Amino acid sequence: MTIVEPFDPGYGPLVDTTVRIAAWNIWARYAAWEVRGPIIEAQLRAAAPDIALLVEVWDEPNGRSQAAELAAALGNYHHVYASNLTFADGVHAGNAVLSRWPIARSEVRTLPLTAPNGSQDDDDEERLCVFAEVDGPRGAIQAFCAHLSWRGDQGAIRQEQVRAITEFARDTRPRAFPAVLGGDLNAEPDTDEIRMLTGHAAVPVPGIWFRDAWVHGGDGPGSTWSNTNPWAATSLSVDRRIDYVLVGHPKLGGVGDVVHAELLGDTPMDGVYGSDHFGLVTDLRY
Q: 48: domain CATH number?
A: 3.60.10.10
- What letter does residue 7 receive in the DSSP assignment? P
Q: In this structure, is residue 5 part of a structural domain?
A: no
- pLDDT, one tens digit per residue, over 28-66 is 999 999 999 999 999 999 999 999 999 999 999 999 999
pLDDT band at 4 (very low <50, low <70, confident <90, very high): confident
Rounded CA gap, 95 and 73, in Å? Answer: 18
| pLDDT value, residue 31 | 96
Q: What is the largest CA-CA distance in the chain?
A: 77
| Residues near 79 by beta carbon (within 8 Å), at least 6 away in sequence | 67, 68, 70, 71, 96, 97, 98, 99, 103
Nearest CA-CA partner of 158 in 280, 86, 242: 242
Whether residue 6 is contained in a domain is answered as: no
In a domain, 154, yes or no: yes
Other CB atoms closer than 10 Å to residue 204's CB: what's the count? 18
Triad 87, 93, 99: Cα angle to 5°:
165
What is the side-by-side strand order in the sheet with 92-99?
Answer: 78-86, 92-99, 51-59, 18-25, 279-285, 258-264
| pTM for the full predicted model | 0.96
Beta bridge partners of 82: 95
In a domain, 4, yes or no: no
Domain range for 178 is 18-285
Confidence band, pLDDT 50/70/90 cuts, at residue 203: very high
Q: What is the pLDDT of residues 77-100, one digit of tens each?
A: 999 999 999 998 999 999 999 999
CA-closest candidate to residue 279, choices 245, 240, 254: 245
Judge whether 92 lies within some domain. Answer: yes
**Total number of domains in the chain:** 1
Assigned domain for 193 exists: yes
Q: Is residue 64 part of a domain?
A: yes
| CB 184 within 8 Å of CB 156 | no
